[in-house]
């Protein structure tokens, strides 16, 4: 694809057991829409919460967060129902997606918030994430999946072997394996970073300076916030508050996906991989970064802007 421009229609299709990018086909955009674009376990719900706080400028909501900001790609809810819900919304819309940029429609009037994280941290977080998924939910997912889809099987081997398999997974559009791994996902947006409506945020930057990153997000979204409101909005976006309110904030909790909604917000820490990954795994990781990413992107994806 010519990286100097971007056509409106997606160039690729991405499918997995849990998501399908073709669900965007009948979406009707509005100027001002916000797409929250992240690989899994890279601050998706955090960013959704920040957007909710900025848009509504209050800290308590009448409905679960997912009802304001649905994951459009997800197969569990009929797409007609999701589109009808979005069409009925009168507030500024903010929509979750795990589809890479070349699988999304492109609208000049939409803000694309791409959130990245150190792939090693995302990998560690994903392990706890899978342990918290209710087994019966997987059966619900199979009902909505495309013909031929199969439930993912638990990975065998050591944690180091699983990490190598994950970080070196092929990234072929249309594949049902790992279409939204951190490296290919963020790169799909990074290649178009010259476009004025693509904005990058990093998980660790939000940990280092949550208030500063929330103010930057308000700026790129052209949202004015009364200075007196900032302390309570920042507190509401903090990890402890989100964990305490997991029944309302954990994604799709009303579907029964989680064994324990509070455990969705597991630790919110970075660097746990240091106690787990050894020289062999890290050598493969470094080689994969060199092969797939530019030095500039490799540095940012690990450290963010403030690191």
Backbone angles phi, psi at 88, to 5 degrees: -80, -15
- The catalytic residue among 91, 98, 194, 202 is 98
Helix orientation angle between 210-220 and 44-56, rounded to the nearest 10 degrees: 60
Residues sharing a CB contact under 8 Å with residue 201, sequence separation 6 or more, in sequence order: 43, 47, 113, 114, 115, 116, 213, 216, 217
**Residue matched to tokens 């706080």:** 53
Which of 39, 49, 57 lies closest to 246 in space, CA to CA? 49
Backbone φ and ψ of 198, nearest 5°: -105, 125
CB 263 within 8 A of CB 95: no
Centroid of chain to Cα 197: 17
Known catalytic membership, residue 98: yes
Rounding to the nearest 10 degrees, give the CA dihedral for residues 291, 296, 299, 303: -140
Supply the residues annotated as catalytic: 98
């Amino acid at each position: 694809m010519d990286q100097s421009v971007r056509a409106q229609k997606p160039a690729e299709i991405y499918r997995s057991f849990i998501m399908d990018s073709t669900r965007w086909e009948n979406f009707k955009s509005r100027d001002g829409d916000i797409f929250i674009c992240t690989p899994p376990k890279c601050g998706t719900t955090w960013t959704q919460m920040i957007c909710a706080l900025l848009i509504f400028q209050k800290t308590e909501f009448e409905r679960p967060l997912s009802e304001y900001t649905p994951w459009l790609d997800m197969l569990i809810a009929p797409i007609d129902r999701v589109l009808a819900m979005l069409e009925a919304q009168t507030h500024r819309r903010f929509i979750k997606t795990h589809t890479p940029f070349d699988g999304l429609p492109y609208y000049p009037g939409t803000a694309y918030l791409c959130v990245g994280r150190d792939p090693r941290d995302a990998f560690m977080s994903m392990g706890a994430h899978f342990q918290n998924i209710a087994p019966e939910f997987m059966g619900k997912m199979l009902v909505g999946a495309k013909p031929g889809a199969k439930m993912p099987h638990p990975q065998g081997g050591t944690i180091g072997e699983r990490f190598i398999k994950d970080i070196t997974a092929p990234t072929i559009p249309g594949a049902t394996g790992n279409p939204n791994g951190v490296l290919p996902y963020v790169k799909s947006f990074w290649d178009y970073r010259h476009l004025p409506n693509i904005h990058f945020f990093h998980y660790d930057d939000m940990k280092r300076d949550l208030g500063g990153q929330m103010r930057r997000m308000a700026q790129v979204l052209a949202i004015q916030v009364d200075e007196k409101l900032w302390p309570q909005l920042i507190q509401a976006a903090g990890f402890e508050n989100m964990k305490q309110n997991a029944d309302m904030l954990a994604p799709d909790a009303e579907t029964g996906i989680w064994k324990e909604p509070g455990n969705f917000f597991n630790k919110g820490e970075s660097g746990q991989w240091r106690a787990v990954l050894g020289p062999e795994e890290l050598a493969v990781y470094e080689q994969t970064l060199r092969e797939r990413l530019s030095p500039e992107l490799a540095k940012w994806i690990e450290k963010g802007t403030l690191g």
